[in-house]
Amino acid sequence: MPAGNITAVERVRRLNSIKELLDKETAPDEIAKELGMTRRAVDRNIKYLSELNVSDLTTDQIAEKRRELYVELLEAAAEAKELFDKYKEVDRPVDAKRFFAAWMDTILMRQKLYGLDSIKMDNLTQVNVNQYIQPVDKIDYNIADRISKMLKESHEKKVECLS
């Protein structure tokens, strides 16, 4: 086997040894010496162990954290939308655009929170819409606002039912 390559079994053994030594408050230099590893390799394994600890959450803990983040994102989205509407009405397009972008960012963050950003769209066929004349749909601002509120309330009720 080439130098530097170890089997999965050996890697698990090393990780367990490093964890045991860390639990005994052994310094990384001493761990490297005792296990015959470089300090850099020990540091890499310590970092890997800390990442494993972070990901060692129960499904209930993950769900609770997602709920907390979702509520915070909803609040941020509402504030960004409110400021977007404010600056749009007073004809400050640069500020309105900035808050619109912030509002859209919160939507993207919520997508990522639930893994909806990684859904593949390979099976969809793109149609060149420029060759067809399409009517422009326009919805009155008040109606659009009511629809938006209804969708948000409906979703919030669903989230409450899950908790």
pLDDT tens-digit series, residues 101-157: 988 888 888 887 777 666 555 555 555 545 545 555 566 777 778 888 888 888 888
Q: How far is CA 78 from the centre of its chain?
A: 19
Q: Quick one: 18 and 76 in the same domain?
A: no
Per-residue pLDDT at 84 exceeds 80: yes
pLDDT number for residue 54:
59
| 55 vs 71, more confident | 71
| 56 vs 7, more confident | 7
CA atoms within a 13 Å half-sphere pointing along the CA-CB vector of 149: 7
Q: How far is CA 42 from the centre of its chain?
A: 29
How many structural domains comprise the chain? 2
Per-residue pLDDT at 33 exceeds 70: yes
49-58 burial by CB neighbour count: b if 16+ within 10 A, else e?
A: eeeeeeeeee
pLDDT number for residue 136:
53
Q: Quick one: 82 and 40 in the same domain?
A: no
Q: Quick one: 15 and 86 in the same domain?
A: no
What is the extent of the structural domain holding 83?
59-119+137-162
pLDDT number for residue 30:
94
Q: Quick one: 77 and 152 in the same domain?
A: yes
- Helix H or strand E segment including 112: helix 93-113
Integer CA distances (angstroms), 57 to 47, 49, 60, 151, in order: 17, 14, 8, 31
Q: What average pLDDT does the structure give for the chain?
A: 79
pLDDT number for residue 130:
52
**Domain for residue 142, yes or no?**
yes
Q: Coil, strand, or helix at residue 56?
A: coil
Question: DSSP letter at 125?
Answer: P
**Domain for residue 70, yes or no?**
yes
Q: Quick one: 97 and 154 in the same domain?
A: yes
30-39 burial by CB neighbour count: b if 16+ within 10 A, else e?
A: ebbeebebee
| 125 vs 42, more confident | 42
Q: Quick one: 79 and 158 in the same domain?
A: yes
Per-residue pLDDT at 47 exceeds 50: yes
Q: Which of these three, 54, 70, 92, is where a domain ends?
A: 54
Q: Quick one: 65 and 111 in the same domain?
A: yes
**Domain for residue 84, yes or no?**
yes
